[in-house]
Structure 1
Amino acid sequence: MGFLNRTITKVFKNPSLGHPNPTKELPKEPIKEKLQDNIQYIKTTLGNSTDLVIREFFIGSKHQIKAAIFYTDGLADSKAIQDFILESLILELPDPSLDTQTTNYQLLKDHMLTVGDIKDTTEFNSLFTSLLSGDVILLLNGYTKGFTIGMRDWKDRGVTESATETVIRGPKEAFTESLRTNTALIRRKIKDPNLWLETQQIGRVTQTDVALMYINGIVSDEILQEVHSRLDRIDIDGILESGYIEELIEDETYTPFPTIHHTERPDVIAAALMEGKVAILVDGTPIVMTVPTLFVSFMQTAEDYYQRADVSTLVRMLRYFSIFISLLAPSLYVAITTFHQEMLPTTLLISLAAQREGVPLPAFIEALLMELAFEIIREASVRMPQTIAQSVSIVGTLVIGTAAVDAGIVSAAMLIVVAITAISSFVLPSFDLALTIRMLRFPMMFLAASFGLFGIIIGVIAIVLHMCSLRSFGIPYLSPFAPYNLADQKDTFFRMPHWAMFTRPRLINKKNIVREKSSPPEKPGDLTEE
């Protein structure tokens, strides 16, 4: 035990001892003056990788300066390199008499390199980050600095329709895995110079680009500062998806409720930015996050604001009703059939008793088995190939349900309850919230089997108290319900017309509250009157 304790102490004092091959950070040293030394250093550092392309040449026909370009095959545009770099530099220099280092370097930058995105680089640290991101590196012999030329051209999926957030009315475009494409989609929605974009690299190994977008003058300074603080505290090897960032910056880890909203629709992000929220974009994923997040955000869809207010209100109320069905339907069935049979009409009670006459299992075990079977089928349908997933899920559900009823393992009423519960969970617009309801359904069933309706009431109170304790970047999770704010109720259970929603959420935005100054539309006169 003493040896083990000493070993654990050493590992905690020196984290590298816990890994046989600790990650080597990028070199932080200046670029050397001799070109051949730089070429050898880059080759050695990258392990002579075969996708590294190095092209040595002389600038100008009189061989005034020896140079070399470096780029990663597959990440840079090789045709543009040929047209805008090599052809420009191998030609004759405009004035061969200008032979000083400073003049030649500035001459190349100002007159010969016909590209838009060009920056100076003086350290290998930034050089390797740019090189492995798809940029082209140009180094000159006799110079301790070089050029970083933006010519990224990797293949992406392209802008397509969202597969998880479909709408009948509204834009069909969705984010892609390219960060620059995603920022451009948002720029198309908001053409305001106050829409600011900040980018930083997170991940010691992956060096993933993470961008913040917000509207200056609308976003709260406190919220923006908190987002910066949490992102700056992240120290991890790699970021492969926005879920890494979400888990590292969320307020509460041990909660089933999502406290950061994410979407793949640009119009949803644009609407969130105009409310004063901050968008977090991660390169390599089509999922964009917005903070802070309220519970009501997970019950809203983009289509709510494209339809009439009365239609959107009806559909939104249907979603709130569906969330209660998805959470409590099996629990209520177990509680009533086990403890509170007197609540049922006599005819219905006799029908349920006749169905359960041959069922050997208690109502709780019966509901638990059916819910587990349905969750297994649903998860299997997600992981199977799409060509057979739908057929297997439908056939599997019908066969298992019918066989279970015929075998007398479950009752037909229980099968109906499980089916209604499953369908109600699909009504929820947020997949994360649907997962939360699926998780909470099982402890609610246990409470119903143990204490009846009293157990359900205790469970609901515990869930509400837990939600009241949650915060999202300092904003109460259940606002504007708790704390109650009458002015913000215009976009909660129901949606008021656009001309009535003239203020932004007050807890999120305290600097620029008013967002419109319109009035109710005037009714035209009767055109049939003379």
Structure 2
Amino acid sequence: MKLQERYDIISSQLSSSFDVVSRHLSIQGTQAWVFFISSLSDSALITRLVESFVSTVSNHLNITFYPGGVEAIQDDKKAITNLLSGQALVLLEHSDDYYCIETRHYPARSTSEPSVEKSVRGSHDGFVENVILNVGLIRRRIRDPRLVVTMNKEGVKTRTDIAYLYIDELVDVDVLQDFEHRLKMLDETEILSERNLCESLYGKTWNPYPHVRYTERPDICAIHLLQGYLIALVDNSPTAMILPTTFFEQTKQIEEYTQTTMVAIFTRVLRLIGIAFSLYLLPLWIGLLIDRIPTMLKLPMLDIHPITFGFQVILADIVVEWIRQSLIHTPSILSSIMSFIAVFVLGDMAIELGAYTSEILIMVAVSNIGNLLTPSYELSLANKVFRIFIGTLALFFGCNGFCIGVFIHMLILLSTKTIKFPYLYPFIPFSYKECKRIFVGAPIKVKKD
């Protein structure tokens, strides 16, 4: 096929955008076309690419492109996909190949510690929206030649880069084969985030508990890779997916690996108690008060009206949730105003007006502190959903309703599927080795070559 015909094929499939650049080169009678996306390509690399073409042709040498990697393909659709990903596309006369040269330079923010996974000790870098940089952050920590990084493109219009990483001979073969099979059979769903990828691979569900673990920390990904897990990264998203996961795996925090054994066990036990309080403390208190069973708090049980009491508890919990969401979306310049508003809606003025009592505020505050203790943001939201559900049953049926709610909650946890392991593993089924790793913090050991 002639050079002009191949140029017309490429040009006809590209829109007339300002950043779609095509340049014609003619050196010593050798004709060529260069295509690139100016908003995704490095101008310095483009300049060196043209210089390599000029210098080799002028000296009657074989045409050499540098400095990036070069891939010769004959599929024009794949060539256009690579072009729209930021690579330069070169067409040469007397050759039917499309030469894709690595010149990508994506706009990206600098790495910083994730706001939802902060730590006092340890590294303070985090993933960004560039999948190449994210892979580099993991490779910086694991310099093992057996580390496998596989890149796929999914979606008809988005053609999003999806990278999954694992260490050969360490990864769980069943999990890897299942993931690759699902990825191969993926339909034409557009992938824009790691959540889209998870739903496309494993389907949507009404179960609020996450079936994979999400993290923005490369050190957590490195630890899980050494333990045989699989990591999936999606371009344009600063979050990684860790497969598989369990309920207790999502309660672990990076600081457990930076403290002494006794301190790590102490903080881990306190965290698990706080997570249990975030689930069951408020519903249990509601059930005791509805059944007129005395508690340590001095709420007058004879004056309790179930509807009024339930409305006050729900209102206080909803107000706390409103404040949490507003602080996430409020610009930092207005955060002081939100603190001022929180004092009014959760302070003495609200108590004096009868919106809720001080006892209700205490119990709601303790329950929400337990939510903030949960390292996994998705797990904390799921726990809050079930706390409201169990609390509603306790409000209508007292302690019996609380027991029914806990029973339903345990059934849902037991029925939750996480690719391979049961959600309550290593307790159900019981595994002493895994319990020791999760609660005592066994050292990371891998197989030797």
TM-score (norm 1): 0.80
1:173-252 correspondence runs (5 A): 173-250=125-202
Task: Give the Cα–Cα distance (whole angstroms) in 1 for the partners of residues 241 and 222 of structure 2.
Answer: 12
1:286 aligns with 2:238: yes
Aligned position for 1:507: none
Deviations along 1:177-201, one digit per CA (max 9) or x if unpaired, are: 1111111111111111111111111
2:68/2:103 contact within 8 Å kept:
no
1:305-344 correspondence runs (5 A): 305-341=257-293, 343-344=294-295
Please point out which of 396, 407, 410 is paired with 2:341.
396
Please point out which of 398, 401, 414 is paired with 2:360.
414
Distance 1:380 1:496, change over 3 A: closer
Task: Give the Cα–Cα distance (whole angstroms) in 2 for the partners of residues 167 and 92 of structure 1.
Answer: 53
Task: Give the Cα–Cα distance (whole angstroms) in 2 for the partners of residues 247 and 237 of structure 1.
Answer: 10
Aligned position for 2:375: 429
Task: Give the Cα–Cα distance (whole angstroms) in 2 for the partners of residues 88 and 327 of structure 1.
Answer: 64
TM-score (norm 2): 0.94
Name the SS for the 2:140 alignment partner.
Answer: helix
Distance 1:237 1:44, change over 3 A: farther
Please point out which of 485, 491, 495 is paired with 2:431.
485
Please point out which of 66, 73, 92 is paired with 2:38.
73
**How far did 1:34 drift?**
2.1
Segments of 4+ moved more than 3 angstroms: 91-96, 356-361
Task: Give the Cα–Cα distance (whole angstroms) in 2 for the partners of residues 484 and 88 of structure 1.
Answer: 62
**How far did 1:362 drift?**
2.6
Name the Cα RMSD after superposition.
2.2
Aligned position for 1:522: none
1:263/1:288 contact within 8 Å kept:
yes
**How far did 1:91 drift?**
4.0
**How far did 1:251 drift?**
6.8
Amino acid at match of 1:128: I
Task: Give the Cα–Cα distance (whole angstroms) in 2 for the partners of residues 284 and 133 of structure 1.
Answer: 12
Please point out which of 314, 321, 324 is paired with 1:368.
314
Please point out which of 220, 225, 247 is paired with 1:268.
220
Aligned position for 2:299: 352
1:33-44 correspondence runs (5 A): 33-44=1-12
Distance 1:92 1:240, change over 3 A: closer
Distance 1:215 1:251, change over 3 A: farther
Please point out which of 18, 28, 31 is paired with 1:50.
18
Aligned position for 1:88: 52
Task: Give the Cα–Cα distance (whole angstroms) in 1 for the partners of residues 435 and 314 of structure 2.
Answer: 38
Gaps of 5+ in 1: 1-32, 97-103, 503-513, 517-530
Distance 1:359 1:72, change over 3 A: same
2:111/2:126 contact within 8 Å kept:
yes
**How far did 1:332 drift?**
2.1
2:126/2:216 contact within 8 Å kept:
yes
Task: Give the Cα–Cα distance (whole angstroms) in 2 for the partners of residues 286 and 488 of structure 1.
Answer: 29
2:161/2:235 contact within 8 Å kept:
yes
Aligned position for 1:131: 83
Deviations along 1:383-414, one digit per CA (max 9) or x if unpaired, are: 1112213x233222220123321112322211
Deviations along 1:226-265, one digit per CA (max 9) or x if unpaired, are: 0101112222342111111122223772211111001111
Aligned position for 2:95: 143
**How far did 1:299 drift?**
0.7
1:57/1:68 contact within 8 Å kept:
yes
Please point out which of 152, 161, 175 is paired with 2:113.
161
Aligned position for 2:404: 458
1:250/1:472 contact within 8 Å kept:
no
1:359/1:410 contact within 8 Å kept:
no
My pick for the range that moved more, 313-322 or 236-245, is 236-245
Task: Give the Cα–Cα distance (whole angstroms) in 1 for the partners of residues 68 and 214 of structure 2.
Answer: 34
1:76/1:136 contact within 8 Å kept:
yes
Name the SS for the 2:300 alignment partner.
Answer: helix
**How far did 1:373 drift?**
1.8
Task: Give the Cα–Cα distance (whole angstroms) in 1 for the partners of residues 391 and 319 of structure 2.
Answer: 15
1:326/1:437 contact within 8 Å kept:
yes
2:40/2:86 contact within 8 Å kept:
yes
1:69/1:136 contact within 8 Å kept:
yes
Amino acid at match of 2:325: E
Name the SS for the 2:199 alignment partner.
Answer: helix
My pick for the range that moved more, 462-471 or 263-272, is 462-471
The number of aligned residues is: 447
**How far did 1:141 drift?**
2.5
1:134/1:152 contact within 8 Å kept:
yes
Amino acid at match of 1:283: D
1:3-42 correspondence runs (5 A): 33-42=1-10
Distance 1:485 1:474, change over 3 A: same
1:447/1:459 contact within 8 Å kept:
yes
Distance 1:144 1:365, change over 3 A: same
Gaps of 5+ in 2: none
Aligned position for 1:301: 253
**How far did 1:318 drift?**
1.1
1:205/1:237 contact within 8 Å kept:
no
1:251/1:473 contact within 8 Å kept:
no
Task: Give the Cα–Cα distance (whole angstroms) in 1 for the partners of residues 206 and 371 of structure 2.
Answer: 23
Aligned position for 1:14: none
Task: Give the Cα–Cα distance (whole angstroms) in 2 for the partners of residues 128 and 42 of structure 1.
Answer: 7
Percent of matched pairs sharing the same residue: 29
2:283/2:390 contact within 8 Å kept:
yes
